[in-house]
Amino acid sequence: MTTEEPKRRGRPPGAKNKEKIDLRPKATSRLPDDFVYVVDEDEDRLKVSPEMIPDGMSYQWVTDSIFGQHQPQRRARFERKGWMPVPSKRHDGIWMPKGYEGEINVEGLVLMERPAEYTKMALAHDKKKAREQVWIKEQQLRGGDVNVTLDGQHRTALNSNKINKSYEPLLRVPEE
């Protein structure tokens, strides 16, 4: 029967006298001297300030892909209306890495541009179309062409029927 010596705890003998050597690599800064750290956690990563848009142009984010699946028909629809991708060189280092060549694509959205004149024409067309739709409904209500069991042509109905117009936002964004 052999008796084993209990293991000794702590440093081995003579360890106190050894020189401590730090083997970790030394940190060297690769940042430029004019680097300024900017906190962007609350910043809207798709925000385009008006100063960034060239004179006479309009910008818009257009869906290029959804969950990695490209949407070529949707994008082609915008291109037929005059929208073209903004080259990343114009806003170097803002949405894409510095020196990147190609279009600006942020999580499936492509930043596109077209002449502001085209955008004004498109907005005027949309307003005209919306007004026409309201006018058609007004004519249906005034003419009694509504699908209800009441008589829209009755004199009491004609005296009290009124059309009120109001505008409400399409989407309500909850406040946090």
pLDDT, tens digit, 9 for 90 and up, residues 17-53: 666 777 777 767 777 777 777 776 657 889 899 999 9
Q: What is the CA radius of gyration of the chain?
A: 34
pLDDT, tens digit, 9 for 90 and up, residues 89-143: 999 989 999 999 999 999 999 999 999 999 999 999 999 999 999 898 888 877 7
Residue 139 lies in a domain: yes
pLDDT class of 169 with cuts at 50, 70, 90: confident
For 111, phi then psi, to 5°, come to -80, 120
Domain count, the chain: 1
The long-range contacts involving 90-97, CB below 8 angstroms and separated by at least 24 positions, are: 90/54, 91/52, 94/52, 95/45
Residue 128 lies in a domain: yes
Residue 125 lies in a domain: yes
Domain of 143 in residue numbering reads as 118-160
Q: What is the pTM of this model?
A: 0.58
Residue 155 lies in a domain: yes
Residue 108 lies in a domain: no
